[in-house]
Amino acid sequence: MRFLAGVLLALAMALPTTTLAQGPGTTHHVAASLVASKDAVAPGETVYVALRQKIEAHWHTYWRNSGDSGEPTRIKWDLPAGWRAGDIVWPAPKKIPVGPLMNYGYEDEVLLPVPVTAPAGAKPGDKVTLKAQVSLLVCAEVCVPEDDALSLTLPVVATPTAGGGAAGAEVMAAVAASPKPAGLNAVYQARPGGVALAITGPALKGSDAAGAYFFPFESTAIDHAKPQAIERGPDGLTLTLAPGYGFQGGRTPAGMGGVLEAGGKAYEVAAVPGVPPAGASGLGAPAARGAGGADLGLAAAALFAFLGGLILNLMPCVFPILAMKAASLAGHGGAENAAARRQGLAFGGGAVLTFLALAGALIALKAAGSAIGWGFQLQSPPVVAVLALLMLAVALNLSGLFEVGTSLQGAGSGLAGRGGALGAFFTGALAVVVAAPCTAPFMGPALGWALTQTPVAALAVFLALGLGFAAPFVLVAYAPGVLSRLPRPGAWMEIFRKALAFPMYGAAAWLAWVLSQQAGPEALAQLFAAAVAIGLAAWLAGLAQRRAAQGGRPLVLGAAAGVVAALAVTAVAWPQDKAGELKPEPYSPERLAALRTEGRPVFVNYTAAWCVSCQVNDKVALSTHQVAEAFARHKVAYLKADWTKRDGAIAAELASHGRAGVPLYLVYGTGGGDGAILPSILTPDIVVKAVEAADAH
């Protein structure tokens, strides 16, 4: 029993943990808060509200284009009706090299200002609370996603004030220092030696070009890790950039925006395809080379990958799968066992081949121009959702709700549930799928180097990674001394099996959290519904098995279990097309009046979260490509009057149109007049025809 207690203690210590906020606006590595450029705001006035990030030493957050890895900070605003928030005013980033990779971001402290506009109808004397949900990624040797709910309260005054205090001065200084257009002309041309980006203009005449650097807005524009050669000219400079995936296959992007740092200043640049002018180069003058990443070489990269694969076995995300594999080997305890050796080799084969398959898919997708990185399979919400359901099914199996074979090493899936070598092979494959998003020490530089090399060199590095990952269990299977020290099979294994269900429940919960960060609360609700269905399917499968054991006919129950499980998986795996979603503005009578004076068609959606008809119309009509294209084609302004909470102004508008509730849809034409009322049940055709009619009048 001491062995069992030790294993359970190790399991508890290895379970994934959640980074908790240490206080209001404080996370583990970044202290976040909101500060404003003014102490008060007047009706119709725009102030800047900045997200202040105080970043722990040796850690960093990311710019709008994070470079070779990372994610930019995102702010989701929750503002009162009529208040509007613009885009982040991004400060110029720093280059943050990480091994052979190049990232763009911020260290120590940074302010991210956002323009916030008060409605013209804001009432002096009121106090308004601006709320923001902040999501950021903070990295050092490892990366930690951190979320925070922040708020800032400002009084509304009758006329604009000048007061902002020390914080206000900092915010306005950040706005003033942010990169801005400076009348620069920029053209680029793909050449055999790279992409020549020529930038000319009065702002660059006489400036020091040494150390100039171009930060692109798009992650696929250039190879960030490669050096940027600089050539000075009388009217500006020319940078020679290593092309990114956007230039592969003979393609030339339609535009290339970014930030140029030169002479201690930062400028916003919008480049177009063209021939670089002579005044942008020194006509043969020696180029000043920027610093690039070191080249590991194949041998060093393979060694780093092997070491990273070894350490990957200790990462929390893969521990539950490997713990069950250890339990399988324990089933062969007491002596050297040929079956254990076969299963060890099969597990290693499944792990190595799955690593190579994922690497091949990653290399192919990158060659096709996709901006993705290692762990890309868990960047897809449907894949995350299916894996969460798989982990739940495994946990229910371990808890005894139903049975899939008799081998503990088969807790991975239906195929992994098979006994013998086949089950071990698919357990190894499942372990890799779950382990891949984790990045162990030594892995980062090795994978970063591999993804910049030829497919053969890249696959060699991933092969070394797979061998390192599989090595411990293959060696244990071939080590008689280790096997002889494992306890012999017995009743303890059933207790151990049920205990192992809890890390699998934890893995399912972790994946559900990942999905909520990727796709929001609606996707999480969909996953929970599918999880209930998986539970029902598991219960039906267990009934069918018990009926079969008693000599009954389990066909109907078994078929029902299969159908329910298939429906659950299909529901979460079906691609979620968000491209047709409209982006509404908050409704206010003042905003409606202002838009109508512009001579644009206006669509007003009176809705509420608790209105079932409203949500159905949003899904089947308003969130379609057909409607989105019609709105864009006719330049329709879309206002959303949200009546989820009581709002007297919206209630009065509903009453003025003879309605006591929602939904209500109004379309105002370009020629003025009253709005046309649409039916309470919408179709895409109804909306498109109404928009076309509004633009014709």
Give 333-352 pLDDT, tens digit per residue.
444 467 767 777 887 788 88
**How many CA atoms within 13 Å lie on the side-chain side of 407?**
25
Local structure of residue 280 (DSSP, 8 states): G
- Of the listed ranges 255-269, 318-332, 555-569, the one predicted with least confidence: 318-332
Name the β-bridge partners of 265.
262
Type of residue numbered 292? G
Tokens found for residue 77:
């605003």
Tokens found for residue 344:
């060890």
Residue 318 has pLDDT above 70, yes or no: no
- Residue 645 to residue 606: CA distance in whole angstroms: 12
Residue 414 has pLDDT above 70, yes or no: no
- What's the CATH class of domain 585-695? alpha beta
Local structure of residue 678 (DSSP, 8 states): P
- pLDDT score at 449: 63
Residue 270 has pLDDT above 60, yes or no: yes
Question: Which has more pLDDT, 461 or 410?
Answer: 461
Tokens found for residue 124:
């002096």
Encode pLDDT of 84-106 as tens digits: 999 999 999 999 887 667 889 99
Local structure of residue 434 (DSSP, 8 states): H
Give the sign of the dihedral formed by CA 365, CA 371, CA 374, CA 379.
Answer: negative
Instruction: Give the CA distances from residue 608 to residues 119, 581, 622, 641, in Å, rounded to whole numbers and listed in that order.
Output: 21, 17, 15, 8
Question: Which has more pLDDT, 399 or 561?
Answer: 399
Give the sign of the dihedral formed by CA 214, CA 219, CA 222, CA 228.
Answer: positive
Encode pLDDT of 49-62 as tens digits: 999 999 999 889 99
- Of 584, 631, 294, which is closest to residue 445 (Cα–Cα)? 294
- Residue 432 to residue 465: CA distance in whole angstroms: 11
- Of the listed ranges 135-149, 288-302, 622-636, the one predicted with least confidence: 288-302
- pLDDT score at 496: 66
Residue 7 has pLDDT above 50, yes or no: no
Question: Which has more pLDDT, 286 or 86?
Answer: 86
Tokens found for residue 551:
């000599």
CB 239 within 8 A of CB 197: yes
- pLDDT score at 349: 82
Question: Which has more pLDDT, 257 or 675?
Answer: 257
Domain limits of the chain? Answer: 14-176, 185-289, 298-573, 585-695
Q: Name the band, by pLDDT with cuts 50, 70 and 90, for residue 408.
A: very low
Name the β-bridge partners of 185.
200
- Residue 604 to residue 580: CA distance in whole angstroms: 18
Residue 189 has pLDDT above 60, yes or no: yes
- Residue 137 to residue 147: CA distance in whole angstroms: 9
| Percent over 70 (pLDDT), the chain | 72
- Of 50, 48, 24, which is closest to residue 109 (Cα–Cα)? 50
CB 681 within 8 A of CB 613: yes
Tokens found for residue 42:
């007047």
- Residue 127 to residue 117: CA distance in whole angstroms: 15
Residue 133 has pLDDT above 80, yes or no: yes
Encode pLDDT of 217-269 as tens digits: 998 889 888 888 888 877 888 888 988 878 876 778 888 999 999 888 999 99
Q: Name the band, by pLDDT with cuts 50, 70 and 90, for residue 365.
A: low
- pLDDT score at 323: 52
Question: Which has more pLDDT, 141 or 495?
Answer: 495
- Of the listed ranges 197-206, 230-239, 626-635, 644-653, the one predicted with least confidence: 644-653
Local structure of residue 249 (DSSP, 8 states): G
171 burial level (CB within 10 Å; 0-12, 13-18, 19+): buried
pLDDT, average across residues 519-540: 81
Average pLDDT over the chain, rounded to an integer? 76
- What's the CATH class of domain 14-176? mainly beta
- pLDDT score at 55: 95
Tokens found for residue 64:
């709008």
